[in-house]
Structure 1
């Protein structure tokens, strides 16, 4: 019995999605909860899995198609078994078991069977048809191994590979000895691929932030030696007690929360003609992925200890790389921290994450000669950058906020003593 494969129920903030990848082709057998298709939205990638053991009988929405919530993507036959590619040994055995009379079929019968096989070979799934079109391959050039002779994407890829091997194995044409053969010009290959929905959404938000906010950036530098010394002395005991590594992000999150308490306008947002002051501290942490930059939110950061913050950052990072972050985990946020230092950036100007009005940029820790009490010392220094919306935050407030963060990092005992 065939059942519909439907797109998941999208959140209210997501209007539609794009069929990103079909992991199974028509006629292919699947197990319960096995991944069938990925649906990419403006914010996250949603997965559709098999409801039971069975076969993908029909694909309706091809890769690249735009679909809405609960739209039918294909059909699924529960309990059916797909056709796996048959081995040559099995085919030989089947031929040997056939009666000798089978070899004396009439020419008309043979022609009928040949026409039937050709018709079956023309049947190809959406992904296979797209690949055949891109490489100029006809259906009669591909041997279908799917159910009923259906051509799968793997069949087309095999044909492409076979053709490439044949071209590579062919000897180069002989040129006359007297003819001067000019060197072949270098190929200037170009590859055009559509921008993903997530990347387009990120681009729209970044451009909007620059166009709609009076964005400025102020810089300061912080001596990381006190935090590095504390981390060196207590990292083993911390990991043993809490089961998580002691990093720098936990300290910066705590420092930002304390600074936000003292400068509430940096934790506020603009809504039309109103200023919304938030009485809570939901800190967004920018995470880079292959699909683009995402910002999961650590909610109520003021109520979490260093271990909780570090653990949640690690969890978000792992989810982000696998595309498993939910809409709820990336919604909201009153302030954002972005750490470009992990990629080696020494200084940058982070872009606001609307509707927030400020973002802190961390950078690479670099040893530099510094003047300390009239003497030159080599210290591990980091540049901090605070981008802010000048419509709400004045330069004085921005600088004071950044200095407050700097003081907490350079003297972490202040975090414990609340001074």
Structure 2
């Protein structure tokens, strides 16, 4: 029986795609849901899984062909080996990395492939190898780490065996279907024959503590970025494994007191400036941040309007209910939920701030996917809280706490940082008193929060000390007029100065 493989639904308004890569060839055996090919549209990359187990008998649409929705891509012969090639030694787990028979008497070779990188991400850079050729690896043990323009991706071993070949060294840029390495899954024989003194890649070795412990890849990366060695960090993971949280703790810990006798000043040594400089290659994340921010300035007609808000009522409300709130909901009541609620309220009245430009069209969003900008050791990221306009205070606080932790740990997925319609950035946590935030394209508005500072204010003819915060709204003047921008910021101010307005939808 022949099973047809057809183009899946590509998304709203997308009618065609290009066949980018075939992962299988005619005659290959396939498992249910195993990836057959990858399609590219003008917006996203779509993976096509096998609808059935069997043998790929025919490829109808070749790489480079343009196909429409529901077009026939290939045919699969259903059943055990219906049209299968001559038997080969297969890898034990067909649903994991693609495999091929080894040229030898026993065992097989397992290919380590680039994992799924996320929607619209087509390439990555190999940042660190944690294993060297000849090393014995366990299944799911971390082999290497890849960097995309958004996130870091750890690559685990698809099977136990010996790392026999590294095809993509550190610094190599690989596409989404590339082969990274080859494992020999022949078991102990190959493992025992592995060279014991194989040189390890730079930055991949574990500390010489006498224990064969592989630190968390994210921890190794963070230590390298901060010129730290593992012996400066106390590992709290299993068997003393250093985790990313351990490195962050070490970075923020108070420094040891300097010796009582100050070190003698270094005598001036004639040297070129270049000899005293340090050149470090930008990470892909930092490169993307730089490009997107500059593109935003070049594309949008960006303007910023300012106001200030008296935080007295919000602070009093928070102080009164924070203990009950945390006891009932299991999360702290912060300021971000008030600002998120206030922005959602204002966006209903001024919908153009929640819209975006698509060519000559303005796309109004009848929902709020709120981006919450978060600083991490590797750069700024903006996780998105979807449908924030329909969430409670507790749900918003829980989502912000969870997304913030995942951002700091480098665990955010691509999907968690896409689709935002408006962004809030809180520079106040770093002490910023006033700033002009940059738009997060294609969004048309971003609210900048700042430090709460006591200032003398005239209240009913009397000077009183009030906790004040400056607010800044940067907006795209192409679709948001000055009146709309000012109105939005005033509505946010009103909601925060009298939080009861949020409950009354006023």
Asked whether the 8 Å contact 1:27–1:83 carries over to 2, the reply is no
Are 2:292 and 1:185 equivalent residues in the alignment? no
How far the C-alpha of 1:317 sits from its partner, in A, is: 1.0
1:268 to 355, 358, 380: 355
What SS does structure 2 have at the residue aligned with 1:204? helix
Q: Any idea what the Cα deviations from partners look like across 1:339-360, whole Å, max 9, x if unmatched?
A: 0011110000000011111100
Paired position in structure 1 for 2:435: 348
1:2 to 109, 126, 135: 109
What SS does structure 1 have at the residue aligned with 2:489? helix
User: 2:283 and 2:332 mapped to 1: Cα distance?
Assistant: 34
1:42 to 131, 134, 149: 149
1:216 to 296, 303, 310: 303
How far the C-alpha of 1:399 sits from its partner, in A, is: 0.5
User: 1:290 and 1:68 mapped to 2: Cα distance?
Assistant: 26
Q: Any idea what the Cα deviations from partners look like across 1:61-110, whole Å, max 9, x if unmatched?
A: 1111000113111122333485799xxxxxxxxxxxxxxxxxxxxxxxxx
Question: Counting strand residues as a fraction of each chain, which structure ranks higher?
Answer: 2
Paired position in structure 1 for 2:60: none
Higher RCO (C-alpha under 8 Å, 6+ residues apart): 1
2:170 to 30, 38, 63: 63
What SS does structure 1 have at the residue aligned with 2:276? coil
How far the C-alpha of 1:55 sits from its partner, in A, is: 3.0
Are 2:494 and 1:407 equivalent residues in the alignment? yes
Asked whether the 8 Å contact 2:371–2:420 carries over to 1, the reply is yes
* Gap runs ≥5 in structure 1: 86-116, 132-145, 147-160, 162-181
Within-5 A mapping of 1:142-181: none
How far the C-alpha of 1:184 sits from its partner, in A, is: 5.0
Q: What count of residue pairs does the alignment treat as equivalent?
A: 336
Asked whether the 8 Å contact 1:59–1:126 carries over to 2, the reply is no
Paired position in structure 1 for 2:398: 311
How far the C-alpha of 1:411 sits from its partner, in A, is: 0.5
* Gap runs ≥5 in structure 2: 1-107, 206-211, 213-228, 230-265
What SS does structure 1 have at the residue aligned with 2:146? strand
1:328 to 415, 438, 441: 415
Q: Any idea what the Cα deviations from partners look like across 1:24-50, whole Å, max 9, x if unmatched?
A: 222333333222211111112112112
2:365 to 278, 282, 299: 278
Q: Any idea what the Cα deviations from partners look like across 1:299-328, whole Å, max 9, x if unmatched?
A: 111111011111111111111112111111
User: Normalising to structure 1: TM-score of the pair?
Assistant: 0.76
How far the C-alpha of 1:186 sits from its partner, in A, is: 7.0
Within-5 A mapping of 1:116-127: 124=199, 127=202
User: 1:73 and 1:127 mapped to 2: Cα distance?
Assistant: 17
User: 2:397 and 2:191 mapped to 1: Cα distance?
Assistant: 46
User: 2:312 and 2:344 mapped to 1: Cα distance?
Assistant: 21
Evaluate the alpha carbon distance shift between residue 223 and residue 7 of structure 1 in structure 2; reply closer, same or farther with a 3 A threshold: same
User: 2:351 and 2:345 mapped to 1: Cα distance?
Assistant: 10
Within-5 A mapping of 1:72-151: 72-78=179-185, 79-80=187-188, 124=199, 127=202
Q: Higher Cα Rg: structure 1 or 2?
A: 1
Are 2:134 and 1:27 equivalent residues in the alignment? yes
How far the C-alpha of 1:183 sits from its partner, in A, is: 4.7
What SS does structure 2 have at the residue aligned with 1:406? helix
Are 2:346 and 1:259 equivalent residues in the alignment? yes
How far the C-alpha of 1:401 sits from its partner, in A, is: 0.3
Asked whether the 8 Å contact 2:457–2:465 carries over to 1, the reply is yes
Paired position in structure 1 for 2:332: 245
How far the C-alpha of 1:2 sits from its partner, in A, is: 2.5
Paired position in structure 2 for 1:369: 456
* Alpha-carbon RMSD: 2.5
User: 1:183 and 1:13 mapped to 2: Cα distance?
Assistant: 54
User: 1:21 and 1:326 mapped to 2: Cα distance?
Assistant: 19
How far the C-alpha of 1:338 sits from its partner, in A, is: 0.4
User: 1:278 and 1:184 mapped to 2: Cα distance?
Assistant: 62
Paired position in structure 2 for 1:302: 389
User: 1:70 and 1:344 mapped to 2: Cα distance?
Assistant: 44
User: 2:314 and 2:193 mapped to 1: Cα distance?
Assistant: 59
Question: Counting helix residues as a fraction of each chain, which structure ranks higher?
Answer: 1
